[in-house]
Amino acid sequence: MTTTSHFHHLLKKCTNLKQLNQIHAHLTTTGLLHLDVRLLGRLLSSAATSDNLHYTSLLFSQLHHPNIFFYNTMIKAHSKTATSLNSISIYAQLLRAGILPDIYTFPLLLKACTQVPEAFPQGCSVHGQAIKFALDSYIYVNNALIHFYSINGHIKDARKLFDTSKDLDVVSWNSMLSAYARIGDMATAKKLFDEMPERNSISWSALISGYVQCGLSKEALGIFLRMQVELVKFSDITLVSVLSACAHLGAHEQGKWVHGYLKSNEIEVSVFLGTSLIDMYAKCGEVDLALDVFNGMKERNLLVWSTMIKGLAMHGRGNEALDLFFHMEKAGIVPDDIAFIGVLCACTHAGLIDQGRQIFDSMSSVYGIVPKVEHYGCMVDLLARNGMLNEARIIIETMPMQPDALIWGALMAGCRFYQNVELGEFVVKNLIQLEPENGGVYVLLSNIYAASGRLEDARKARELMETTGATKIAGCSSIEIRGKLHEFIVGDKSHPQIREILVKWEEIERFLSLEGYVCNKTEVLLDIDEEDKEHALAKHSEKLAIAFGLLSSSDGVAIRIVKNLRVCSDCHHVTKLISRIYNREIVVRDRTRFHHFKDGKCSCNDYW
C-alpha cells in the first residue's frame, strides 16, 4: 500500500500543474488526503508556485484551520500576479481569524504593493502594521521596507530606515545602492559601494548597470576591471550591462573578451546574453560576428530578431535586413513596433523606397499596429534621402501627431544633400521652435547657404547662432587600441602622443595632396581666413583618431572609430582617400549610421 510519505516525496518533485492535478486526484480518491493534513498543505504550496490562482484558492478553502504558513503562501501566490493587491484582503482575513502575522508576512505584502504603481498608500499602511506588531526592526522586514520606499522613489524615507537600522546586511546595502543608481545619483551610489562591509555579485552588477544607464560606460568598464582583479564571479546581469557599455563606447576588444569568457567557461548563451552580444558586435562595427552569434543561438525571440535586423540596417545592409525580417515572419514571430523601426531603417539606408512603403502600410493593414512618430520619421528619411523632398514634407504635414526634431532633421539632411535652400529655410524655422538652443541647426543652414554660394546668408546664420546663445556640441571621436580607449576632441592637444599624431597627419596630408585633394571649407566658420580653415579641418576629432590608429596598429588591421556627431563632408572625403592610400578598412560610427571606408569608397554611397 502506498504511504503518505511517498506522496510527500512526489509533491516535492512535482514540476507542473498537470502532475499536481494527477496527484491531487489520486489522494482524493484513495482518501489519503484526509489522513494527513500536511499533504493538503504541500499541495497548496506546490499550487502557489503556478499561475492558477483559482486552483490555489480552492485548495486553501479546504483547510479548516489554516495557520500563518498557509496564509503567507496565499499572500505570496497573489503577490506575483496582476491581482497582487488581493494579498491585502487575505491579510485582513488572517487578522479576523485571530492569526498573528510573522516576519515573512510583511515582506510578501510589500512585494505585492510594489507590483502596482498606485499602491504606495497601501504599502505605507503595511509599514504601520509592521510597527504595530513590533516586527519592523527585524532585518527581513526592514530590508523589504527599504526596497519598497526606494522602488517608489521615496529615497529619503528609504535612507532614514537604512541609517537608523541597527542590523544591516548585504541585502540592505544593495537596496540603497540600487536606489541611488536608479535615480542617476552615481556619486552617492559609488560612495555606498566603497563603504560596504561586504559585497556580492549583485552589488557589483547594480553599480555597473547604474553607470551604463547614466551613459557613464567608461566608469562601468572600470568597475568591471576591478571585478576581474578581485576575482568576483560574473553574473549574466553583470555581463549584459558590460556588453551594453562596450556597445556604447565601441570597445570591441573588451566586448570580444566577454564573448571569449563565455566560450572558455562553457556558459550557455541565453536569449538576453545573445541579444547583448549581437548588439555589441553590431555597434562595434563587426556585424558579421553579430550574425555568427545570431545563427548559433538555439532560441530566438522577437528581441533577438529585431536586434539583428537593426544591426544590419545601421551598416547599410538593407537587403539582408529585409530578408531576415521576412524569415522572422515565416518563423511565426509576429513583429512589434520596434521591429518595424529596424526594418524601415534598413529600407532607408539601402534606398529601398517601394519596399519601405509596403512595409509601412503592412503595419496597420496586416498587423494592426498604429504607426508612431518614429515610423513616420523613417519614411521621411527614406524619401528625403532619395530626393523626394516634397513628398517627405507632405508626410510631415499630414501625419496624425506633431513632428519632433528628429523628423525635421531627416528632412533637413535631404535639403543639405540636394541643396534645396528654400525648403531648408522652412525646416530650420520649425527646428528652431523645437530646439532653440541647438547650434547644430544653425550650422546646417549655414552649410546649405555656403554650398549654394550664398556666403553672406551663411555668415548671418552663424551670427544668429551666437546672438541666440545656441551652442554646438564639440566633436569627439574614440578609438580602441589594445583594449584601451583613446578619446580625441576637435582641436585636441592633450593626448600624450599628440606630437607623433600631428607628424603622422602631416604625412597623410602630403599623400592627400598627391591625390589632388582640396579641402572642403564650406563647413567651417566663415570669419577666419582660408589658411586657418584648412588648419581647423585638419584638427577634426576623427582625423586625429585616424592618424593615431595608423600610428598604433599593424598594417591590414581595420581602424574602428566612434564619433558623437555626424561626419562632415570634408572628413568623409578624406577618409575615403586614406582608406585607398594606406590600403586600410576604416569603420566609423557617427550619430546616424556606420561608414565602412574601403578602397576609396564608403558603404553609405556618400549619403548620410
pLDDT digits (tens, 9 = 90+) for 206-221: 999 999 999 999 999 9
Which H helix or E strand runs over 328? Answer: helix 318-330
- Flag whether 547 is in a domain: yes
CA distance 355 to 409: 23
Domain-embedded: residue 267: no
Q: Report the pLDDT averaged over residues 570-594.
A: 95
- For the stretch 161-166, contacts whose Cβ atoms lie closer than 8 Å and that sit 24 or more positions apart, written own/partner, are 165/137, 165/139, 166/137
Residue 229 lies in a domain: no
How much of the chain exceeds pLDDT 70, in percent? 90
Domain that holds residue 487: 479-602
% residues pLDDT > 90 (the chain) = 70
Whole-angstrom distance, CA of residue 208 vs CA of residue 300: 26
DSSP summary character for residue 265:
T
Instruction: Using CB atoms within 10 Å of the CB of residue 109, give its burial: 0 to 12 exposed, 13 to 18 middle, 19+ buried.
Output: buried
Report residue 530's pLDDT band, with 50, 70 and 90 as the boundaries: very low
Residue 237 lies in a domain: no
Q: Is residue 299 part of a domain?
A: no
Whole-number pLDDT of residue 531: 38
| Pairwise pLDDT comparison (169 vs 46), residue with the higher score | 169
Q: pLDDT tier at 521 (50, 70, 90 boundaries)?
A: low
C-alpha to C-alpha distance for 588 and 412, rounded to whole angstroms: 22
- Alpha-carbon span 440 to 396, nearest angstrom: 21
Rounded Cα gap, residues 596 and 573, in angstroms: 13
Q: So what's the pLDDT on residue 448?
A: 83
pLDDT tens per residue across span 99-114: 999 999 999 999 999 9
**pLDDT of amino acid 322:** 96
- The residue type found at 157 is D
Confidence of residue 526 (pLDDT cuts 50, 70, 90): very low
Residue 1 has pLDDT above 50, yes or no: no
Q: Is the pLDDT of residue 20 over 70?
A: no
Would you say residue 50 lies in a domain?
A: no
CA distances from 509 to 512, 572, 578, 588, 597 (A): 5, 15, 10, 20, 18
Q: How confident is the model at residue 451 (pLDDT cuts 50, 70, 90)?
A: confident
Is 188 within a domain?
A: no
Per-residue pLDDT tens for 269-289? Answer: 999 999 999 999 999 999 999
The answer, yes or no, to whether residue 534 has pLDDT greater than 50, is no
Q: How many domains does the chain have?
A: 1
Q: How long a stretch of residues is the chain?
A: 608
User: Taking the complete model, does pTM exceed 0.75, yes or no?
Assistant: yes
pLDDT digit string, tens, across residues 397-418: 999 999 999 999 999 989 988 8
Residue 11 has pLDDT above 70, yes or no: no
pLDDT of residue 57 exceeding 90 = no
Q: If you average pLDDT over every residue of the chain, what do you get?
A: 90
Q: Is residue 14 in a domain?
A: no
- The pLDDT of residue 366: 96
